[in-house]
Amino acid sequence: MAVTPLKLVETTKVAEDLNAWPLAVRGLTVSYGQKPAVFSVDASFAPGKMTAIIGPNGAGKSTLLKAALGVVKPLSGHVSVFGQSLDQQRHRVAYVPQRASIDWDFPTRVLDVVLMGLYRELGLLGWVRRAHRDRAMACLTRVGMQDFADRQIGQLSGGQQQRVFLARALAQDADLYLLDEPFAGVDAATELAIIAVLKELRDAGRTIVSVHHDLSTVADYFDRALLLNVRLVAEGPVDTVVTQDLLEQTYGGHLTMARIDPQTVAG
Amino acid sequence: MISLGYNAVLVAVGAGLLGIAAGVTGTFLFLRKRALVGDAIAHATLPGVGLAFLLMVLLGGDGRNLAGLLLGAGFSAAFGLYCVHLISTRTRLAEDTAIGAVLSVFFGFGVLLLTVIQNVPSGRQAGLDGLLLGATAGMLFADALLIAVGGAVALFASLALSRAMVLVAFDEGYARVAGLKVDWVDLATMGLVLLVTVVGLKVVGLILIVALLIIPAVAARFWTDRAGQVAVLAGAIGGASGVIGAIWSATVPDLPTGPIIVLVAFGIFAVSMLLAPRRGVLAAWLRHRQFQRQVHLRQGLLALGSGQPIYEQLTLRLLQRAGLVRADGVATPAGEQAVADAARDEARWALVRREKGLEAVAARAGIDPLDSLLTPDQVADLDRKIANGEVAAP
């Protein structure tokens, strides 16, 4: 019997253009031990837009950010920042970590924290000049914290601390801002101040990606949303993605639409 | 001035330099919250000392050569540090557990080696046990030079790396995103601590060196809220402890140098803890008393103003002592005035909390009179708004 030779299928390599995305991850899996926290996520974050990452507790929202930034090491996957590796584009990325991860008794003043944002510019030994201080003060002013520059960081309220962290990110003058739950444990005034600054950045063409917890404000604050529960559920403009159906898929059906109905969360 | 012998001057200079280096380097260990790793490093030097001695005797040299002994100490401390790192990253055991295990096992093995050396003919006069608590009596110029060079290297490297080490200690995740190699920074910190420990063996000994790394930093922390100033101040405290301790032990017969240096450092720490202006225990207590008094007076005045009875005895006592109420609880003329002032201030505060641009003031307790926080113009502006009925006076 004649053996049909195996036919080699012509495979064309689909050269996807990742240059278009400020941040794109492909096949990203992160695991703590044997349990994946994020599994095979493909996501692209649109330029000049504010995107919220939403999902239940333990869905891997923070982990996704941290893996994209190299803070935790992914098990597999590719991360592209403005089409290149993070190392090549690091100077264009600013990160606002979760407030909970900080020791607030650390001996540092508010202005010193903002000056940390200039680390890439100052390097190890660079002298902090008047111009650097002025820039740091300008960033504090943008978040309404200019009067607190000399305070030790622990003397601030939670909301004020978060604003200082935002000011530090602003000092970097980055093109891509990644925020990990910026509204966790902050007062309403701070929430509004932060969102105003973020919208300013967005309007100036910067890209914002933020882990977000509050479904009632997603539509007001963000342009796009990424629904995550270990796996990617959906990504797109908020009005098409934040729907009863998709949220139930993300949160496991325990969610009633009431939680995001604007009428029930008035005020 | 007390005239010191040649040896005493040598020891004082060596101890001073060691103190400066240990204070500055130790600050970064303290800020990174890894003080105990310093203890593990110190105890892990002992087997290296013993092995280096045996090796040098075996090769026909002088087993007491300090440079050789310290080299051995450095290698075994580095190995101990590696073990701590391995246990805490590769297993589920916490770092403090790893430190405890490594510290005691290395130290035990080191003591065993010293016992063996005691029974070797050439080992009798080795005096290796002097490295446990420091032995400065026979310090040579070469020894002091070794300490000076090692200390200077540790000092300048610490200062050069300080920005990176502070950033990593304050916010590791952010430091990583900023492109800092966190593991390398940590390794450098530990390497410098190791260097200070090894050169400090001769002066304060391996059991007490951790005190000289940590005490100056925590003492300095009481005086300032800035990391850079903590480091500089810790260097000064460490250096002063070294010099004072060395001179003290040289002028009084039979006082051991190392322990005295540590006790001097502790003395500075105790004074700092009690007397430092903002973070000190005494200042905190006085501030608390002052605030409590203010709160009681204000509450009492507001209660008087609205005709409510005052139940709290302390409030009544304070009001009486200030001459604001009589013994029967009725306001004096001065008290009437104070009641009116308190009511007006309360109304101003209520407005400040809603006013834009005054957040920094509004964040304060709301107990101190606003005249002391705002300019007369601002206060007049508030009063005008109150008069216009923008806020109801209570």
Query: What pLDDT is recorded for position A42?
Result: 92
Q: Across residues A27-46, what is the average pLDDT?
A: 90
Q: Residues of B near A (CB-CB distance < 8 A)?
A: 31, 33, 160-161, 163-164, 166-167, 169-174, 176-180, 221, 224-227, 229-230, 359-360, 363
| DSSP letter for each residue of A7-66 | PPP--------GGG-SEEEEEEEEEETTEEEEEEEEEEE-TT-EEEEE--TTSSHHHHHH
Distance, in angstroms, between A94 CA and closest chain B CA? Answer: 8
**Beta bridge partner(s), residue A231:** A229
Q: Which of A97, A101, A112 sits opposite B226 (nearest CB)?
A: A112
Residue A8 — very low, low, confident or very high, per pLDDT cuts 50/70/90? low
Beta carbons of A229 and A250 less than 8 angstroms apart = yes
Q: Which amino acid is at A147?
A: D
SS3 state at B327: coil
Query: What pLDDT is recorded for position A258?
Result: 46
**Beta bridge partner(s), residue A8:** none
Closest listed residue to residue B15, CA positions, set B235, B239, B199, B253: B239
Q: Do B225 and A107 touch (CB under 8 A)?
A: yes
Q: Which residues does B93 contact at the CB level (< 8 Å), separation at least 6?
A: B87
Beta carbons of B293 and B306 less than 8 angstroms apart = no
Query: Token pair of B148, please?
Result: 């000076």
Q: Across residues A32-47, what is the average pLDDT?
A: 90
Instruction: Pick B351 or A223 by higher pLDDT.
Output: A223
pLDDT tens series, chain B, 394 aa: 456 788 888 889 999 999 999 999 999 999 999 989 999 999 999 999 999 999 998 888 887 888 899 999 999 999 999 999 999 889 989 989 999 999 999 999 999 999 888 887 766 566 788 888 888 877 888 888 888 999 999 999 999 999 999 999 999 999 999 989 999 999 999 999 999 999 999 889 999 999 999 999 999 999 999 999 999 999 999 999 999 999 999 888 888 889 999 999 999 999 999 999 989 999 999 999 998 998 898 888 888 888 888 888 888 899 888 888 888 878 888 888 888 888 888 888 888 877 766 766 666 666 777 777 778 888 888 888 888 776 554 4
Least confident of A183-197, A245-259, B7-21: A245-259
Query: Token pair of B293, please?
Result: 């008094």
Residues of A in contact with B360 (CB under 8 A): 147-148
Residues of B in contact with A90 (CB under 8 A): 177-179
Query: Token pair of A112, please?
Result: 């010193």
Residues of B in contact with A125 (CB under 8 A): 160, 163
Closest listed residue to residue B139, CA positions, set B127, B150, B149, B122: B127
Closest listed residue to residue A53, CA positions, set A249, A238, A212: A212
Q: How far is it, in rounded angstroms, from Cα B43 to Cα B198? A: 11
Residue B368 Cα distances to A247, B296, B349, B361, angstroms: 50, 12, 10, 11
Query: What pLDDT is recorded for position A7?
Result: 66
- pTM, to two decimals: 0.84
Query: Token pair of A121, please?
Result: 């510019």
Residue B249 Cα distances to A228, B2, B146, B259, angstroms: 67, 13, 22, 9
SS3 state at A84: strand
| DSSP letter for each residue of B75-109 | HHHHHHHHHHHHHHHHSS--HHHHHHHHHHHHHHH
Least confident of A18-32, A175-189, A250-264, B95-109: A250-264
Distance, in angstroms, between B229 CA and closest chain A CA? Answer: 9
Q: Do B363 and A157 touch (CB under 8 A)?
A: yes
Q: Where are the alpha helices (DSSP H) in chain B?
A: 6-31, 35-43, 46-58, 66-90, 95-118, 130-133, 141-170, 172-177, 182-200, 205-221, 227-251, 257-275, 281-305, 313-321, 333-354, 359-362, 376-387
Is pLDDT at A210 greater than 50 in this prediction?
yes
Instruction: Pick B369 or A10 by higher pLDDT.
Output: B369
B35-43 and B205-221 helices cross at what angle (nearest 10)?
170
A67-71, A249-253, B251-255: which is most confident? A67-71
Residues of B in contact with A72 (CB under 8 A): none
Q: Which of A66, A106, A125 sits opposite B170 (nearest CB)?
A: A106
* Best mutation target, B177, B180, B233, to test chain A (most A CBs within 10 A): B177
Residue A65 — very low, low, confident or very high, per pLDDT cuts 50/70/90? very high
**Beta bridge partner(s), residue A177:** A94, A208
Q: How far is it, in rounded angstroms, from Cα B370 to Cα A215? A: 41
Is pLDDT at A193 greater than 70 in this prediction?
yes
Q: Residue B232's CB: how many other CB atoms inside 10 A?
A: 19
Query: What pLDDT is recorded for position A166?
Result: 95
Q: Do B179 and A120 touch (CB under 8 A)?
A: yes
Is pLDDT at A256 greater than 80 in this prediction?
no
Beta carbons of A217 and A230 less than 8 angstroms apart = no
**Beta bridge partner(s), residue A236:** A225
Average pLDDT, chain A: 87
- What is the pairing mode between strands A207-211 and A176-179? parallel
Query: What pLDDT is recorded for position B19?
Result: 95
Q: Do A107 and B221 touch (CB under 8 A)?
A: yes
Q: Do A90 and B170 touch (CB under 8 A)?
A: no
Is pLDDT at A253 greater than 90 in this prediction?
no
Query: What pLDDT is recorded for position B363?
Result: 64
SS3 state at B156: helix
Distance, in angstroms, between A54 CA and closest chain B CA? Answer: 21
Least confident of A104-108, A129-133, B80-84, B310-314: B310-314
Query: What pLDDT is recorded for position A172?
Result: 92
Task: Report yes or no: A85 at the B interface, CB cutoff 8 Å.
Answer: no
| DSSP letter for each residue of B167-233 | HHHH-HHHHHHTT--HHHHHHHHHHHHHHHHHHHTTTTHHHHHHHHHHHHHHHHHTT-S-HHHHHHH
